Amino acid sequence: MYQASVPPMIRALENLAHVLSKGQAYAEAKKIDPNVLVGSRLALDMFPLSNQVQIAADAAKFGGARLAGQEAPPFPDDEKTIADLIERTRKTVAYLQTLKPEQFEGAEDRTVTWKVREEMRSMQGLNYLQQRVLPNLYFHVTTAYDILRHNGVDVGKSDYLGKM
């Protein structure tokens, strides 16, 4: 469970930080306030870039913590700049790196419970990872990538996937 969760989450967040860095460089090169990108969204009823990054980081942080039977550290959603968003991804990666494989022993069968708005939900660990954590993480990482790409940032599949 550790190998199926923590390394892919770290990779996704590191690649997201790379894409965000390219967004910051693009804005600076075009003499655009980089923080305009922070509030950009694909559609009016979608979250902006800032929320996409925060939710991606939280999906990884809480997913890893719950599967390891740990409490995740609180991170306030107060990022205002691209640099802040990059730091959020790095802070989350640093937390994930504290998790150890032995904490995940038996996690596939462990019941994971979490709150969504006012509703409590529960799933077995393997289903939680496969059906909730990873899809949620990848959805928000992809949406953040798409927001930047939509705004002209020169990113491609290799930036999203990272180095092999």
Q: Mind spelling out the 3-state secondary structure of the chain?
A: CHHHHHHHHHHHHHHHHHHHHHHHHHHHHCCCCCHHHHCCCCCCCCCCHHHHHHHHHHHHHHHHHHHHCCCCCCCCCCCCCHHHHHHHHHHHHHHHCCCCHHHHCCCCCCEEEEEECCEEEEEEHHHHHHHHHHHHHHHHHHHHHHHHHHCCCCCCHHHHHCCC
Beta bridge partners of 122: 113
What does the pLDDT average to over 14-29? 97
pLDDT at 43: 96
What does the pLDDT average to over 110-135? 95
Q: Give the CATH number for residue 18.
A: 1.20.120.450
pTM: 0.95
| Number of domains comprising the chain | 1
**In which domain, by residue range, is 13 found?**
2-161
Better pLDDT: 35 or 94: 94
At 23-79, the pLDDT tens digits run 999 999 999 998 899 999 999 999 999 999 999 999 999 999 999 999 999 999 999
At 126-148, the pLDDT tens digits run 999 999 999 999 999 999 999 99
